[in-house]
Amino acid sequence: MIEQKDLFEFNQLPPIKGFPELRWTNKRPYRSTQYYPAQLKEIYGQSDESGWLNKIFWGDNLQVMSHMMREYRGKVDLIYIDPPYDSKADYKMKVKPKNQKEVLTDSLSFEEKQYGDIWTNDEYLQFMYERLICLRELLSEEGSIFLHVDYHKAAHLKLIMDEVFGQSNFRNEIIWSYSTLGRPNDRFAQKHDNIYWYGKTSNTFFNLNGAKVPYSKEYIKSHFRDRDENGNPIRKRYDAGK
């Protein structure tokens, strides 16, 4: 029997009004979780003045989050997740023997499966739905969550994020652009990922000055060619008349 202190009931999601709700076969509400114990394996380094010591958990992420509920529920200020993309592929890593200075042929190495990313559509959506609800419970009132996805399920997960965190708490969609991968002949190349930023409430913390990146010297030299009355470089902007 689960003790009451080890059962965490979640705040219920408000009814959806005014925007679409994503439905899938066997969509189930996720209303509570129970505490899962963790076994300490290793300690490295010293805690800071506040007593904080960074922690790495190894295990099923839903159980890890359930373990964290007792101590960190409503206290986490920043969450970034890079979950499976449902890319319909198995990912492998080439492993070389230890103490082997040089591998001359592929026959001296082998491939080890890292993880599988092949799901049924309904299974994947329920998997993400339950974990996003847990993450919402861990997030503080001023906290932010960043969900990193790609084209495979970006549209689906945007609707789930609206449901779990509230459409009004959507802050930004950040485009992560890259130049790798090839160029297919039958469509444009996939050259970006999507990062959805949500807050838990309207009081989401945002440090605009801290997010700014200083201009490089080369950029200032090429774009700030005029000077103000004190000799500081300035950039003149002109209205294009649009």
User: Which residue ranges form the domains of the chain, and what is each CATH number?
Assistant: 4-84+119-214 (3.40.50), 88-116 (no CATH)
pLDDT, residue 162, reads 96
pLDDT, residue 1, reads 45
- Which one, of 196, 170, 171, lies nearest residue 81 by Cα? 196
- Which one, of 79, 85, 56, lies nearest residue 164 by Cα? 79
Q: Which positions of the chain have pLDDT values less than 70?
A: 1-5, 91-116, 181, 238-242
pLDDT, residue 128, reads 96
Strand blocks (E) in the chain: 7-9, 32-34, 76-81, 89-95, 110-117, 139-149, 170-177, 192-199, 226-227, 233-234
Q: Which distant-in-sequence residues (6+ apart) come within 8 Å of 167 by Cβ?
A: 18, 19
pLDDT, residue 107, reads 57
